[in-house]
């Protein structure tokens, strides 16, 4: 599998150098792998820190900026970051108002953020962690590590970020983040596996004529393999999975998220079918976002996330945001 890289070991370091060059408005510590919003810490503002394995860009580094994250900690490809990164990030963004860790529910992320929280608290930073676990493809959570954190991360970072920007205190920001997580569901589909630089080839085999339902964002195979379907059929399976699990009784935000290699043209066409499938299930749509936001390297496919919103959440969603990956209202 050909890649636009130098050597596999340096992929993340190279990307950080290139990210730094493209985004002088952010402070990028390439060596220590922490991306911080310029000017942080902001007086009286709760600091938002997230992070996770690389390979999901623009998540998380692309969501650092006004109205969203204060810092992001990129790990190796598909490998959660180490505690040192989060400790450093927490120290960099804490104004005294405390720090929120937004942690996707994977064993590695959970353990590393947990260690970091303990170390940061030892250094006098008040840390609250919220777990993102929106992926309905993981069902029997008694026998698993629990639902994975995927697309809802964007909703949580945006909405909690807007609240923090307005000066909400730590417990309120954390409560909003938990509310968004509880109100969000995601289901993902892969048409092809992704290739990690370390492996140099696809992380699993997906024959022509088949697709993988219920995939995560780490090149893991999904839970079920089926014969290839049309965009409309995929939308039905996907929307049914999230709607039947959430049972929304009000308007939702919709994220139609590309896994990386699926052209935007196809993604928009898929969105048309997702909107149809939601309308058929009488789910009113408040806002729709279509694009590559929570990716899985060069995987082809898409995920759909819905999040039921009340007026407050919708207001916070619409609030100004200015980051490399998401920008509006400012």
Partner 1 sequence: MNATPDPEAPVDAAFVRRWLDAAAAAMDRESARLTELDSPIGDADHGTNMRRGFLAARTAVEQDPPETPGGVLVLVGRTLISTVGGASGPLYGTLLRRAGKELGEEQAVSAARLRDALRAGVDGVAALGGAGPEDKTMLDALLPALDALTGALDAGGGAADALAAASAAADEGAKATTPLRARKGRASYLGERSVGHQDPGATSSALLITALAETARGDV
Interface with partner 1, residue 107, by CB under 8 A: yes
- State the nearest-atom distance from the C-beta of 205 to a second copy, in Å: 13
Distance from C-alpha of 190 to C-alpha of 216, rounded to nearest angstrom: 9
Residues involved in catalysis: 56, 218
DSSP state of 81: P
User: Which CB, 105 or 292, lies closer to partner 1?
Assistant: 105
Please state whether beta strands 184-190 and 327-328 pair in parallel, antiparallel, or not at all (unpaired).
unpaired
User: Which CB, 12 or 28, lies closer to ligand ADP?
Assistant: 12
Select the binding partner of residue 199 from a second copy, ligand ADP, partner 1, none (C-beta < 5 to 8 A, by kind).
Answer: partner 1
Select the binding partner of residue 82 from a second copy, ligand ADP, partner 1, none (C-beta < 5 to 8 A, by kind).
Answer: partner 1
Select the binding partner of residue 106 from partner 1, Mg ion, a second copy, none (C-beta < 5 to 8 A, by kind).
Answer: partner 1
Select the binding partner of residue 84 from Mg ion, partner 1, ligand ADP, none (C-beta < 5 to 8 A, by kind).
Answer: partner 1
What's the chain's length in residues?
A: 330
Residue 301 pairs in a beta bridge with: 190
Q: Is 25 exposed, middle or buried (0-12, 13-18, 19+ CB in 10 A)?
A: middle
User: Which CB, 41 or 258, lies closer to a second copy?
Assistant: 258
Q: Is 80 left (phi over 0), alpha (psi -120 to 50) or beta?
A: beta
Task: Say whether 291 sits in a helix, a strand or coil.
Answer: strand
- State the nearest-atom distance from the C-beta of 206 to ligand ADP, in Å: 20
Which residue is listed with tokens 């949580």? 156
* Size of residue set near ligand ADP by CB under 6 A: 3
Interface with ligand ADP, residue 139, by CB under 6 A: no
Stretch that binds partner 1, among 96-104, 141-149, 251-259, 320-328 (CB under 8 A): 141-149
- Which residue from 13, 20, 30, 82 is in contact with partner 1, where contact means CB under 8 A? 82
- Which residue from 50, 79, 238, 308 is in contact with partner 1, where contact means CB under 8 A? 79
Distance from C-alpha of 229 to C-alpha of 213, rounded to nearest angstrom: 11
- Which residue from 54, 79, 129, 184 is in contact with Mg ion, where contact means CB under 5 A? 79
What residue ranges bind Mg ion (CB under 5 A)? 78-79
What residue ranges bind partner 1 (CB under 8 A)? 8, 53, 75-84, 106-108, 111-112, 114-115, 137-140, 143-145, 148, 196, 198-199, 203-204, 216, 218-221, 223
What residue ranges bind a second copy (CB under 8 A)? 1-7, 10-12, 14-19, 21-22, 54-55, 57-58, 62, 77, 191-192, 208-209, 211, 228, 230-232, 234, 256, 260-275, 285, 288-290, 292, 295, 297-298, 300-302, 322, 327-328, 330
């Amino acid at each position: 599998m050909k890649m636009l890289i130098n050597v596999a070991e340096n992929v993340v370091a190279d990307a950080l150098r290139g990210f730094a060059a493209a985004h002088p408005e952010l402070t990028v510590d390439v060596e220590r792998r922490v991306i911080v919003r310029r000017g942080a810490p902001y007086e009286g503002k709760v600091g938002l820190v997230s992070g996770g394995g690389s390979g999901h860009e623009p998540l998380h580094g692309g969501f650092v900026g006004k109205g969203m994250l204060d810092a992001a900690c990129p790990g190796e490809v598909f490998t959660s970051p180490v505690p040192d990164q989060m400790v450093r990030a927490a120290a960099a963004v804490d104004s005294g108002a405390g720090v929120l860790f937004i942690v996707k529910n994977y064993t590695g992320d959970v353990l590393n953020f947990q260690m970091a929280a303990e170390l940061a608290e030892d250094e006098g930073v008040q840390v609250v962690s919220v777990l993102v676990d929106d992926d309905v493809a993981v069902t029997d959570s008694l026998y698993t590590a629990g639902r994975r954190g995927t697309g809802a991360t964007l909703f949580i970072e945006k909405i909690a970020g807007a609240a923090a920007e307005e000066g909400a205190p730590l417990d309120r920001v954390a409560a909003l983040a938990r509310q968004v997580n509880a109100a969000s569901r995601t289901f993902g589909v892969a048409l092809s596996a992704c290739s990690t630089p370390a492996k140099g080839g696809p992380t699993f085999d997906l024959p022509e004529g088949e697709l993988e339902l219920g995939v995560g964002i780490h090149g893991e195979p999904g839970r079920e393999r089926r014969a290839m379907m049309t965009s409309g059929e995929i939308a039905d399976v996907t929307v049914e999975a999230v709607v039947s699990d959430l049972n929304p009784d009000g308007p939702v935000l919709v994220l139609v998220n590309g896994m990386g290699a699926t052209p935007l043209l196809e993604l928009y066409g898929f969105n048309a079918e997702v909107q149809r499938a939601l309308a058929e299930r009488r789910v009113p749509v408040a806002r729709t976002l279509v694009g590559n936001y929570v990716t899985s390297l060069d995987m082809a496919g898409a995920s759909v996330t819905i999040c039921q919103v009340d007026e407050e959440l919708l207001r916070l969603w619409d609030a100004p945001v200015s980051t490399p990956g998401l920008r509006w209202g400012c």
